[in-house]
Amino acid sequence: MKRFINTLKNIWNIKDLRTRILYTLGLVLIYRIGSFVVLPGINPADLSNLQAQTRDGVLGLLNMFSGGAFSNASIFALGIMPYITASIVVQLLTMVVPYFSKMQKEGESGRNKINQITRWLTVIVTLFQAFAYLANLRYQLQGATIYSITGSDSLNFVNWTLPIAIMLTCGTLFVMWLGEKITDKGIGNGISLLIMVGIVARLPFALFAEFASRMEEQGGGLVIFFVELVVLLIVIMLCILLVQGTRRVPVQYAKRIVGNKQYGGARQYIPIKVNAAGVMPIIFAQAIMFIPVTLFGFSKSESMQGVKAALSDFNGFWYNLIFAIIIIAFTYFYTAIAINPKQMSDDMKKNGGFIPGVKPGRRTEEFFDNVLSKITLPGSIFLALVAILPAFVSLFGVNSQFSHFYGGTSLLILVGVVLDTLQQIESHLLMRHYDGLTKSGRIKGRSQM
């Protein structure tokens, strides 16, 4: 306890770190306040149908990511997910379109161009999702509380639907701007942090709902609730191992004498993460799962509605199977982007390093590629299993809201973002010769490789 208090004092004593943390908390507060600002023309008292629709399934996850803004019919109802979807599309284009690949290699100017394209694509995706959201909203409210809708459908579109769609788009762009500002001037990754804040905001409600449901049972309800908390703690520890797990590759550096100084000669280790992609595959996979639900929302065909229902069933077989496959595929995709075996081999060769028993050059590149293939497969499968774990937990009677925290997107994002943020705070402390957050070693975030 004393060490914890001293750490807080050290954090407060560092002016730059204190300013960054307060700046981040201020923007997070703005985001949370905005999630309760209801769209014009909507009576908050009549949102019971929408809130019931978002208690579980894919819409329940979307509501969790937005911190309840989706079910509140807030100006931030769509949250940050349209930006995530746009980022997926742009990153896929960098793999297949030479123009985007060339921009990616242009350094800072190329990244700025890609970011600008991502923002414009976010506008298009958000507008598309905004109209789908409003169509669903009108269906749930049955037009009773939308006071501005009168006359023909075309007049309704001009008077209410189009302005509110633009408002929802501006809300998402504002949330995206908040995330970028947190990344630039705050602490942690802004986009991931806002997603985490939305998840944490739903945790007390889910915990209380599960506790209340267990208390209603006759005999053993409190014991079962305690067992659930223990299992949740074990799953959290497994998620931490998944995020931090590495395989160390030994590297021997040849002796070099420059002037009167000797360099190299010692054996070092390159830590390659078992899950080099972090939680990004699961975020991207979740964004992909939202696309068919949005598309089929415009269709009145019974067959299409059946597909929508299957892909909206959070505990259904087809949802979890497709979700797991997409996660495994994106894990390989993101690992290929994050780690380049050829570049690693070339850098080692330039610095006079080699892997014992492996020839420099082509053989070293093949060695790294083989290691990545061996550790990425079990890492991606384990990531997929953790992602669909809430579906298995719900089979044991766990409340649908609370089951989201037994793995899946929610817990992995929560663990990954917390570790990343703590790692940045620890870096500030160590840079100014203060003790870190832990007694021994350093916190490993998702960004470390």
Q: Are residues 93 and 221 in the same domain?
A: no
Alpha-helical runs (H) found in 142-263: 153-156, 162-185, 190-215, 221-244
- Of 281, 287, 296, nearest in space to 334 by CA: 281
Does one domain contain both 168 and 260?
Answer: no
Residues 53, 138, single domain; the answer is yes
Q: Is residue 194 part of a domain?
A: no
Give the range of the structural domain holding residue 152, as residue numbers without chain letter. 1-186
What is the predicted pLDDT for the residue at 449? 35
Domain boundary among 120, 154, 186: 186
Q: Is residue 193 part of a domain?
A: no
Residue 192 lies in a domain: no
pTM of the model: 0.73
Cα(229)–Cα(351) distance, rounded to whole angstroms?
50
Let me know: does 275 contact 373? Beta carbons within 8 Å.
no
| pLDDT score, position 157 | 66
CATH classification at residue 46: 1.10.3370.10
| pLDDT value of position 128 | 87
- Alpha helices of 245-354 — where are they, by DSSP H? 280-296, 302-312, 317-338, 341-350
Co-location of 446 and 398 in the same domain: yes
The answer to whether position 191 is within a domain reads no
**Same domain, yes or no, for 5 and 47?**
yes
Q: Would you say residue 197 lies in a domain?
A: no
Residue 74's closest CA among 47, 114, 104, 56? 47
Would you state the pLDDT for residue 133?
84
pLDDT for 174: 93
The rounded distance, in Å, linking the Cα atoms of 84 and 266 is 43
Question: Where is pLDDT greater, at 246 or 102?
Answer: 102
Same-domain status, 173 and 269: no
Residue 266: what pLDDT?
62
Reported as a single tens digit per residue, the pLDDT across 348-386 is 777 777 777 777 788 888 888 888 888 888 888 888 888
- In terms of domains, do 230 and 166 share one? no
Looking at the structure, tell me whether residues 21 and 53 fall in a common domain: yes
Residue 71 lies in a domain: yes
- Among candidate residues 186, 217, 235, the one where a domain is terminated: 186
CA distances in angstroms from 326 to 125, 281, 282, 381, listed in the order given: 20, 8, 8, 11
Say whether both 286 and 424 belong to one domain. Answer: yes
Whether residue 34 sits in one domain with residue 4: yes
Contact 74, 50 (CB under 8 A): no
How many domains does the structure of the chain reveal?
2
> Which range has highest mean pLDDT (27-31, 300-304, 389-393)?
27-31
181 and 190 Cβ atoms separated by less than 8 Å: yes
The mean pLDDT of the chain is 77
Examine the domain organization and report whether 218 and 345 are in the same domain. yes
Q: Give the type of residue at 35.
A: S
More reliable by pLDDT, 206 or 178: 178
165 and 273 in one domain? no
pLDDT at 30 over 90: yes
Given a cut of 80, is residue 226 above it in pLDDT?
Answer: yes
Residue-wise pLDDT for 230-257, tens only, equals: 888 888 887 777 777 777 777 766 655 5
